[in-house]
Amino acid sequence: MGFSEELFLDKVDDLFFCPICLEVVKNPVQDKHEHLFCRTCIESWFKCNTIRSCPVNREQLSPNEIKKPGRIALNILSKLNMKCMYKECTKIVSYEQFNEHFTKCEFRNMSFCPKGCGHYGINMHDCLDFVLMKNYDLQDKIETLVTNLYKIEKKCNEEIYQKMAINRSLQFENKRLKRENLQLRKFSKFQTQTSKTPKSWNSSTKIA
């Protein structure tokens, strides 16, 4: 099996994909057609297939026609940038350095504490110390959460008071407008009465 394409930070040329495992070639070898394969892939191909043929074009191919890839291809491949296979590791290495880094990567021996204290790492540790430290961290977090909660509560109360004040002034304004309205109605009633009186008086005089 080769390397997953996801490990590569650079675009990988189609040429470097193993036609057997469909991944980027690992420990590459080359046949007489200049097809590249992972060493283990082509070896198991020959083990499984009694007819000696190329996996790509089915032309006759014998195991002794498999050799080291050309220098140019190897040069391009060896310079491709890769991520380490451990997700926690941020190191970027070239294809050439990958295996060396991977076998020595500091995240290689990372594991959870077998006693179940929750510690994750390489180093020896005291479970009680670790749990106490974690406890302090959690207390700190709780304290910040509580202070944040108070702040939010205070802000909410302020907003409520502001809205209540607005509400009060609106109610006051409403009452004032109602009073004004009442006065206006009284006034207009009075005016219509005074304007009707002479009219009725005129008509009555005409009849008379």
For 5, other C-beta atoms within 10 Å of its C-beta total 13
Selected range binding Zn ion among 114-122, 158-166, 185-193, 200-208, rule: CB under 5 A:
114-122
CB of 21 to Zn ion, least distance (A): 3
**Out of 16, 31, 66, 77, which residue is the one contacting Zn ion (CB under 5 A)?**
31
Selected range binding Zn ion among 65-73, 123-131, 151-159, 191-199, rule: CB under 5 A:
123-131
| Distance in angstroms (rounded) separating the CA atoms of residues 60 and 183 | 111
Q: Is 82 in the site for Zn ion (CB under 5 A)?
A: no
Q: Is 93 in the site for Zn ion (CB under 5 A)?
A: no
In the block, tokens 């470097």 appear at 16
CB of 22 to Zn ion, least distance (A): 8
Binding footprint of Zn ion on the chain (CB under 5 A): 2, 18, 20-21, 31, 33, 35, 38, 41, 54, 56, 84, 86, 89, 91, 105, 113, 115, 117, 119, 127
